[in-house]
Amino acid sequence: MSVSDKRIYLASRSPRRRDLLKQIGLPYELLLLREDLRRGPDIDETPLPDESPGVYVLRMAQEKAAMAVRQIAYRRLPQKPVLAADTTVVFDGQIVGKPDDAEHAARILRALSGREHQVLTAVALALRDQVETQISVSSVWFREMSDADIRRYCSSGEPLDKAGAYGIQGRAGAFVTRITGSYSGIMGLPLAETVELLQKFDIAVW
């Protein structure tokens, strides 16, 4: 299989997911579902009543992949598998989304300080009517953070576009004392699970 044959679409704006695909040597084309950021979100990310975090994150990844498949057909783009993913942080059984602003980010981080939380990332790979999914569940422990720690981190701007108000690959790595599970999954794209999905579409990474 040639490099061009292996190419997929990546339906994500996340630079972390792009870097992780490059890490495993997988060529991709970026498929932006929403060209104008002022239009608002592509899909409604509100959890359904009584929806568990695992079901929620899988549904989000599937909906993103389904929207991407529709865009491929609408734009009459070449048919290739499209990869979508969704990450959510869970604390005390509750979904923790992206912060609205720096003050909200600080409140989230104060709650996570000195405690354990979970990071769930679901991955969906779709081609026409075929959709395959995987989910990664990891646990993260934070050290106790002072108000000064939290203020400095929030002033960096890093927490504002991230589930749980932090990115483990950035400055917040200094808050982490322990993880179990997938480091790449905590970043936003679990590589082991992603490779398993690619194999179902006969795409070999190496």
Query: Would you please indicate which residues are annotated as catalytic (active-site) residues?
Result: 86
Distance CA 23, CA 116 (A): 28
DSSP 55-104: HHHHHHHHHHHHHHHHHHHHHT-----EEEEEEEEEETTEEE---SSHHH
Q: If we measure between CA atoms, which residue out of 153, 147, 26 comes closest to residue 18?
A: 26
Distance CA 28, CA 22 (A): 9
Q: If we measure between CA atoms, which residue out of 83, 40, 41, 79 comes closest to residue 62?
A: 83
Contact 54, 135 (CB under 8 A): yes
Contact 85, 124 (CB under 8 A): yes
Contact 126, 66 (CB under 8 A): yes
Contact 136, 53 (CB under 8 A): no
